A and B are shown apart, each in its own frame.
Chain A
Amino acid sequence: MSYPFRRVEGVNSLIHARGLVKRFGDFTAVDGIDVDVQAGEAFGFLGPNGAGKSSTMRMIGCVSPPTGGVLRILGMDPRRDGPRIRARLGVCPQLDNLDPELTVLENLTTYARFFGIPRKVARARAAELLDFVQLGERAGSKVEPLSGGMKRRLTIARALVNEPDLVLLDEPTTGLDPQARHLVWERLFRLKQQGVTLVLTTHYMDEAEQLCDRLVVMDGGRIVAEGSPRALIDTHSTREVVELRFATDDQGTYAGKLEGIGERIEVLPDRVLLYVSDGDGALAEVHRRSLSPAGSLVRRSSLEDVFLHLTGRTLVD
């Protein structure tokens, strides 16, 4: 599939938000965030459930009016130009809302009609997109019997049916098995290479690391950090991490004994993390102090560590 990379004229940021707020009654889901997404970028919102990612995505998708702040999508105001903006967005929602009674192909062609795309064009484009998401052979089958991964790929194909300037993916691989996830990632990576602007939310750090050029870490409706995955790790974490599991109910009792090894210690319910520049050296020091963990692991820092450092909590519970 050759995806037409279009320049969006006269607009610096495809998404421009300043002090963006979303409240539901007393609850503040999004608490004044600033975001700019440029054309051709793969941008991510990383955060745990309830961080405000999906609320932000719905505001960007122009189906949820902001409670406060400034929001411009493709240079337009969602409050006023909702349909015009949505005509140029591709949306892959968190929960598939495909029509199970229609065929795979019909799901794309009927959806294309909502954008006023002529039937003939819709059919040609749908066939092309089904090949792209590797569902070409299932064009005539019903949606119901498809696997979760296939449905998600079909939803992604549906999001591309209007050749959008901006593709929004809300938790694109949540609930998929590892193999299906990789297939989705691979397709999204292709889109990214073709210059499609992707905006995605995720609570998987590996997904963010693989797909995002730049991301913001969200927690409690606020942005707590921003940058490329590499830069975030460099800024907020050490080069390596030593994970130690002690044979005790309270890992915290070992915190004192580990004092001074590395830059920082995090005690989790099931393990202790040592943030260090040299993992093997640190592990040797642990053993020199005659602390014998039941299990140990030296690894590189990840976005998970960034999140833990910034919020004191893990991403996936």
Chain B
Amino acid sequence: MTPSAYVLEYHLVNYRRTWRSSVLSSLVLPLLTMLGFGIGVGAYVTGGVGGYSYLEWMVPGLIATTAMQTAIGESTWPVLSSFEWVKVYFAQAAAPLRIGDILGGHLAFMLFRVLLSIAAFLLVAFAFGTLRSAWAVAVPLIALLVGAAVAAPVAAYTASVTSDSYLAILIRFAVLPMSLFSGVFFPIESLPVVLRWVAYVLPLWHGVDLTRAATLGLDPGPGAVWQVLYLVFWCAAGWSLAYWRYQRRLVI
């Protein structure tokens, strides 16, 4: 086993305490949103979107959003706590672990959480019959990509702040707009050009688009390769930033 696997193991031991309630809420959340948005709001969108019912069209967006939200949830308060309150990172840094092990092990756990919440959502979506294609099996991979593309840079951000009021700012000014303008609830083509570019630049829309192609069995075209590469770029840049910020904070 590599040292980062030991770090992952630590986070898993910690998760064992709360996994029941966390899995339950992972299931309840998609159920409620599906009922509220898909059936409630969907009843007004009678024409559907692009030949699909509104529910079918929106579910992949929600799955990608869930991946993003779980990644952000795990890379904000838990990371700040590991630096500021419980200080487990410092305990880990005193052991024979390197910065990459500490960061890698924690990111691996964040992705594990992303997978869990996605799996729950997929299950509910499957039960509602909104998965139209066998390509849905690719959704977990896309979700991992979205999760890493978001968790790594957010962990870098969290590692740079000392108070959780900065995390609230992140949620308000980055996460909320990203959820609204990434083609989750309506196609980004209905946005003005400027806002459409916001969607192109941020990672979520690419995840939404890829997930939508997978669950609806659409041909994503050659653009999908660029979208995947763009998300990989977010992962790599996020990792480098996070590594740098972790090092600045742990090695003083």
Contacts and interface: CB of A to CB of B under 8 A. Distances in A.
A101 B17 contact: yes
B interface majority secondary structure: helix
A20 to B, nearest CB: 16
Given A83-B97, A97-B90, A63 B250 contact: yes
B87 interface: yes
A110 B12 CA distance: 10
Nearest to A55: B252
B251 A63 contact: yes
Interface in B86-119: 86-88, 90-98
A99 B93 CA distance: 14
B150 to A, nearest CB: 25
Interface in B1-48: 1, 3, 6-7, 9-10, 13-14, 17
B17 A113 contact: no
A87 B94 contact: no
A114 B252 contact: no
A132 interface: no
A60 to B, nearest CB: 11
A99 B86 contact: yes
Given A95-B87, A97-B88, A113-B6, A63 B93 contact: yes
Contacts of B96: 82-84, 86-87, 114-116
A66 to B, nearest CB: 12
B175 to A, nearest CB: 25
Interface string A161-174: 01000000000000
B14 A114 contact: no
Nearest to A61: B94
Contacts of B13: 102, 106, 110
A99 B88 CA distance: 7
A110 B10 contact: yes
Contact of A93 (B6, B90, B98): B90
Contacts of B98: 82-83
B10 A64 contact: no
B129 to A, nearest CB: 40
A91 interface: yes
A100 interface: yes
A97 B17 CA distance: 19
B251 A65 contact: yes
16 contacts: A24-B252, A63-B251, A82-B98, A86-B96, A89-B94, A91-B94, A93-B91, A97-B87, A98-B91, A100-B86, A110-B10, A111-B91, A113-B9, A114-B3, A114-B7, A114-B96
A114 B96 CA distance: 7
A58 interface: yes
A132 B92 CA distance: 23
Nearest to A95: B87
A82 B95 CA distance: 10
A96 to B, nearest CB: 9
The 5 closest A-B pairs by CB, nearest first: A114-B95, A97-B87, A87-B96, A83-B96, A91-B94
Contacts of A91: 94
Interface in B53-112: 86-88, 90-98
Contacts of A114: 3, 6-7, 10, 92, 95-97
A64 B97 contact: no
Contacts of B95: 86-87, 111, 114-115, 162
A84 B93 CA distance: 13
Contacts of B9: 110, 113
A167 to B, nearest CB: 12
Contacts of B250: 63
Contacts of B10: 110, 113-114
B91 A97 contact: yes
Contacts of B93: 63
A63 B7 CA distance: 18
A248 to B, nearest CB: 47
A126 to B, nearest CB: 13
Contacts of A83: 3, 96-98
